[in-house]
Amino acid sequence: MIGVIADGADEAVVREFFELFKTAWEFYRRDREYEVLLLCAGEAHFDEPAKLRVIYGGRRLDSDEDRKSERRGQQSRPSIVCYRGNQFPLYGDTVTFDRHEGGLLTDDAGGNVAYVERFGQRVHARIGYDLFGEVRTLLTVGQPAAYAKMPALELHIAFLRDLITGSGATLAEIPPVPEGYQFIACLTHDVDHPSIRRHKWDHTVFGFAHRATLGSLRDLVQGRLSFGGALRNWTAVLRLPFVYLGLAKDFWLDFDRRYAELEKSLPSTFFAIPFANRPGQGAHGPAPSFRGSRYGACDIADTLKSLVAGGCEVGLHGIDAWRDSSAGQEELEEIRRWTGLSEVGVRMHWLYYDRESAALLEEAGAAYDSTIGYNETVGYRAGTTQVYKLPGTSGLLELPLHVMDTALFYPAYLGLSRRQASALLHRMADNAARFGGCITVNWHDRSTAPERLWGGCYGDLVQALKDRGAWFATAGEAVSWFRKRRSAEFPSSCTGPGEGHVRPATGESDGLPGLQLRIHQGRETVCVDTALGAGADAHNSCQGTEVA
């Protein structure tokens, strides 16, 4: 059991951190004894016989006076610290220590940001930054694009876990790993342009024609596109007048069929725009007119119903839901009307979002949100692979967006070749297998058709996720699994084998994979695989061990 001493203003952040690091903890009580004390509220002097005392703080404390320390205030750029070959940023103030023994974290200036001391069977760890301040920044402000590749929050969890297990304390946790799998994969598709025939020489068509002709020639010369691909794009441009006349097939149609062929019966989620020709509002007034799509959900109702019948999910690709709860209610109801679904999640068109959006989406009745990500790059905006509760809401969960095809390939963004993109996506798949959680992918409806032709890279990614043991889930299923994990409760006695049970809030079978109980005893990890959500407690029967 971890006893936590934190500033009262951090209470909500502490609670959310321990939903992500799902282990037995409570706010410190003087009538209890703890194996681990986590002190994050400045000066605190306790003589309790904890096996491990971890003191976080980004300013000098009185207890630091016998050691030379240096405070480094918030810089114009984050400090980058290194732990066991992993780098992650610190966005707040830090303290470094003039110690060479027991050093754990080093910053980019060579300073020690953390150290450990042993006193017999007890361990004292001093960490020179504010853990919950970092968590708050990640879950509210998010990471700038320059640090997108670093799963910072997951590394904060891994670092604290290693401190606890390295001290010899026992740690029981429910990892973000579905029973029988290594992680979750969410394949999603924003439906922006389901038919080129609906675009009559507008911004979208001119962009298509430019990229399909001159852009294809450039990519062919640079070795980024095969001659066959370039020929297919040039042919599509020549066919365009005949598409408008109804004499040739609309090559942007049938996106559902193309993805069904690539995904081979795997479930995926399609986010549909509710109303045609509504650009909506931007942060500083009306959005550009070309943000308004040339279709609405009613125009592709048969396709949406077919997707739902085939085991896929349809969500809302919102227009003004991010800034107006009444508009959000109207947009959500339009998707419900044409799909028959009662629970509808949201991803905002163009990823529009601000600090008030989460509360407004919850008020509108969204089942979840999946907007938090990047337009210009790929990675971990909130620093995590996990679903988390959005600040300012009572329970709306965020399924973070990690990969978007346009960010990978558009020259104005990363501008990668297929080989470069595949290498980056394989590294992100490795991270998902390492940390658990979910990797959320957005491949747009037209991205497998001319002029993009990005279906090959998408197929490679799907296979890589399969090879690494992913559970493929719709966005709604992934969020539901994390809700089940959040519902699990640790009694105070559940700290090791034979010392209690872990029970979820419901025992009803839900058709989702079960949860796992993982018990760390020193450097040993006992994995107890039981389906906590299927009406059973997590009994302490060891199914196998692994070295942590």
Report pLDDT digits (tens) over 18-72. Answer: 999 999 999 999 888 899 999 997 765 566 678 899 999 998 887 776 555 555 5
Q: Which residues pair with 123 in a beta bridge?
A: 52, 118
3-class DSSP assignment, residue 57: coil
Note the pLDDT tens digit of each residue in 258-293: 999 999 999 999 999 999 999 999 989 999 999 999
- C-beta atoms surrounding 76 within 10 Å: 4
Contact 517, 172 (CB under 8 A): yes
In this predicted model, which residue has the larger pLDDT, 145 or 65? Answer: 145
Position 514 pLDDT exceeds 90:
yes
Lowest mean pLDDT among 210-224, 312-326, 509-523, 530-544: 530-544
Amino acid of residue 27 = F
pTM of the model: 0.92
What CA–CA distance (Å, rounded) separates 312 from 475? 10
φ, ψ at 341 (rounded to 5°)? -80, 145
Residue 36 tokens read as 């681990």
Bridging pattern class, strands 112-119 and 122-127:
antiparallel
Residue 527 confidence (pLDDT): 58
Residue 505 confidence (pLDDT): 52
Residue 490 confidence (pLDDT): 86
Residue 99 confidence (pLDDT): 64
Position 402 pLDDT exceeds 80:
yes
Contact 309, 321 (CB under 8 A): no
Note the pLDDT tens digit of each residue in 317-356: 999 999 999 999 999 999 999 999 999 999 999 999 999 9
**Average pLDDT, rounded, for the chain:** 90
Position 501 pLDDT exceeds 80:
no
CA dist list (Å): 322 to 283, 354, 394, 399: 10, 7, 17, 16
Within 8 A by CB and 6+ apart from 383, the residues are: 88, 138, 142, 143, 150, 151, 152, 153, 154, 156
pLDDT tier for residue 540 given thresholds of 50, 70 and 90: very low
What CA–CA distance (Å, rounded) separates 25 from 489? 10
φ, ψ at 506 (rounded to 5°)? -130, 145
Mean pLDDT throughout 177-193? 97
Residue 525 confidence (pLDDT): 66
CA dist list (Å): 244 to 197, 240, 255, 389, 447: 6, 6, 18, 46, 21
3-class DSSP assignment, residue 223: coil
What CA–CA distance (Å, rounded) separates 89 from 74? 12
φ, ψ at 226 (rounded to 5°)? -75, 165
φ, ψ at 21 (rounded to 5°)? -95, 85
Closest CA to 194 of 14, 469, 8, 448: 448
In this predicted model, which residue has the larger pLDDT, 384 or 503? Answer: 384
Mean pLDDT throughout 196-219? 94
Residues in the chain: 548
Mean pLDDT throughout 144-169? 95
